[in-house]
Amino acid sequence: MPRVSPVDPQTRIAQREELEHQLAEGTISLGQAIKRMRQNWAGITQKRMAQLAGISVTTLSGLERDSGNATLDTVHRVLRVLGARLTIRLD
């Protein structure tokens, strides 16, 4: 995977807000959002992400495909590597 150029703070904020909007609207899944963040923000492979999060590549792959049964701890570990966190918002 090619290295990703650093994203300026304003662009990253805009991308984060767009992902949040898509998640809230249901047009993107949590797994799809995690995959985009891994590829576009971190620019790392699944193998490296799994190592950093302390999970298996199989678990990460399943999470990104929205299959399997990931625990909240697993999701938290992955998001922490990306500098993100899972929150619950009541509307």
Whether residue 41 contacts residue 30, with contact meaning beta carbons closer than 8 Å, is answered with no
Structure-model confidence comparison of residues 68 and 53, the more confident one: 53
Whether residue 61 contacts residue 34, with contact meaning beta carbons closer than 8 Å, is answered with no
pLDDT computed for residue 11 by the predictor: 85
Task: Quickly tell me which residue has 């994203």 as its tokens.
Answer: 7
| Phi-psi region at 41: left, alpha or beta (left = phi > 0; alpha = psi -120 to 50) | alpha
pLDDT tens-digit series, residues 40-57: 888 899 999 999 999 999
What pTM, to 2 d.p., does this model score? 0.84
pLDDT computed for residue 3 by the predictor: 52
> Counting Cβ atoms within 10 Å, is residue 49 exposed (0-12), middle (13-18) or buried (19+)?
buried
Angle formed at CA 33 by CA 31 and CA 37, multiple of 5 degrees? 120
